[in-house]
Structure 1
């Protein structure tokens, strides 16, 4: 009997150029890189630049400089800032996002909402958000109206987890009637991310465990859009780096990696290796780290 040939893994780096890359970003990118290289997969560089108000040219440039300095290579996508702007910016894929939005509209899967984000967040925190705007009959094409996806009360999706059995996940309450088109007309993150991953053939996604609920929401959206490739993607949710009980993020340690470690790359590799459970003597290079790295070691939250 001929052995079933599974598709080659394709994963991605997906930074947002709204700031310089910090050590938390690099930690996540390294896990993605290890996931791809250990599985003979390919890596796409996908830069999420839809929110042009927050994008700065120096942030885009720093993505390339930081990844190249670290040796975190990729196989697909732009090789330079110039190629990114000409061929790979999300602005070049607006037609794809608009097609997806219009399909949702045609299927009556979305409703217009004029509630503020603050109000919706408050209602969700109180477990009292019912998507009330879906009963107002607001015109989706009116000014200052966001589009929200109609979500079923007991909606579930199937999720393939890395090297685990298929699981059934319920759509979290926090993702009830999530936004797919912002009130300024820009496609929301969930929609753009799902459409992009489907377009580029991404079938293996590594991200922090804090984004697990987003993964469930995106699988739900992919099902609504009929995006079969994304629906069958394999997910790996890695542990977070915690600093005094809080997620290490831009708000705590936001210094740019190149500013903090440009004179001591070995120090950064040892720091990353420590979080990944790799002994110091095996942190001389990414290749050495790959030999010692085990995905089971990042299955729980790490304290900084």
Structure 2
């Protein structure tokens, strides 16, 4: 089993937090306590088109309402905007992008989201300085990527088709999620990352990106990918599904205890849960 010192919860202010987020926060808390690790609150606000002040406030409202603790990071919205927004770390992201350019590991892409065919921009040699293009990493699609798991094993897998030549700089000029996530976790010294199973492809992509940038410290990070809570159709919960947002449940008069009990019931645990502490204790964790 991996011994970890710092983990993080990393919500995005692009929708109201929902029960799936709370599950992930609970598993993160459980593993942090098991290891004596600190928990960082890291809010990803680089998707500037989707960032909403209401959603940003909702992060703090939800964490405080449910009693979710964290040891490091912003105390409230004002503190976040003053000291912790990803906008403050733009020099770090630009440095990483410049390094990729110098090593000829990126290419410009002018594909639109609606285009269904595979991107062929690598062969077009579009100048990186062209307006309104994204930058994509030239990925290695054949060699296995090694991922260290929290349970102590190492998993090797090649990059999935969906992640080949993934975007590292968006058309709006801002760095993309995969790059900012790698840089942030290294910047803050995170060595345990808890995320849903749906983000396994992102983990593989981020590991390859870190290796491309020579960031060997990323190899020390252990990953725990947990099962997702699904809706009645078996589909992943979406932030757009308001009925499972904590904000909606609060408006319906649900107490934190009722919300915790609902989440554990969705996981097949038929016990009443009265507090965040009990909720964390009920959660099955790896290792």
Unpaired runs of at least 5, structure 2: none
Q: CA deviation at 1:9?
A: 2.4
C-alpha distance 66-41 of structure 1, shift in aligned 2 (>3 A): same
C-alpha distance 275-9 of structure 1, shift in aligned 2 (>3 A): farther
Secondary structure of 1:49's counterpart equals coil
Q: CA deviation at 1:155?
A: 3.1
Q: Residue 165 in 1 paired to residue 153 in 2?
A: yes
**Equivalent residues of 1:14, 1:47 under 8 A apart:** yes
Q: For 2:283, which of 260, 279, 293 is the aligned residue?
A: 293
Distance, in Å, in 2 between the alignment partners of 1:270 and 1:280 is 7
Q: Deviations over 1:64-100 (max 9, x none)?
A: 1110111111011111211110110001011100000
Distance, in Å, in 2 between the alignment partners of 1:292 and 1:208 is 18
What TM-score, normalized by structure 2, do the two folds share?
Answer: 0.92
Secondary structure of 1:86's counterpart equals helix
Q: For 2:263, which of 259, 272, 284 is the aligned residue?
A: 272
Q: What is residue 140 of structure 2 aligned with on the other side?
A: 152
Q: CA deviation at 1:287?
A: 2.0
Matches within 5 A, 1:13-52: 13-52=9-48
Distance, in Å, in 2 between the alignment partners of 1:292 and 1:49 is 31
Tell me which moved more, 269-278 or 30-39.
269-278
Distance, in Å, in 2 between the alignment partners of 1:286 and 1:276 is 16
Q: CA deviation at 1:49?
A: 0.8
Structure 1 segments, 4+ long, off by >3 Å, are 251-256, 275-279, 289-293
Distance, in Å, in 1 between the alignment partners of 2:121 and 2:106 is 11
Aligned residues: 283
Q: CA deviation at 1:164?
A: 3.6
Distance, in Å, in 1 between the alignment partners of 2:74 and 2:27 is 21
Q: Deviations over 1:3-30 (max 9, x none)?
A: xxx8642111111111221222222222
What TM-score, normalized by structure 1, do the two folds share?
Answer: 0.87
Using CA pairs below 8 Å that are at least 6 residues apart, which structure has the higher relative contact order? 2
Tell me which moved more, 76-85 or 241-250.
241-250
Root mean square deviation of aligned Cα: 2.0
Unpaired runs of at least 5, structure 1: 1-5, 124-128, 300-304
**Equivalent residues of 2:60, 2:77 under 8 A apart:** yes
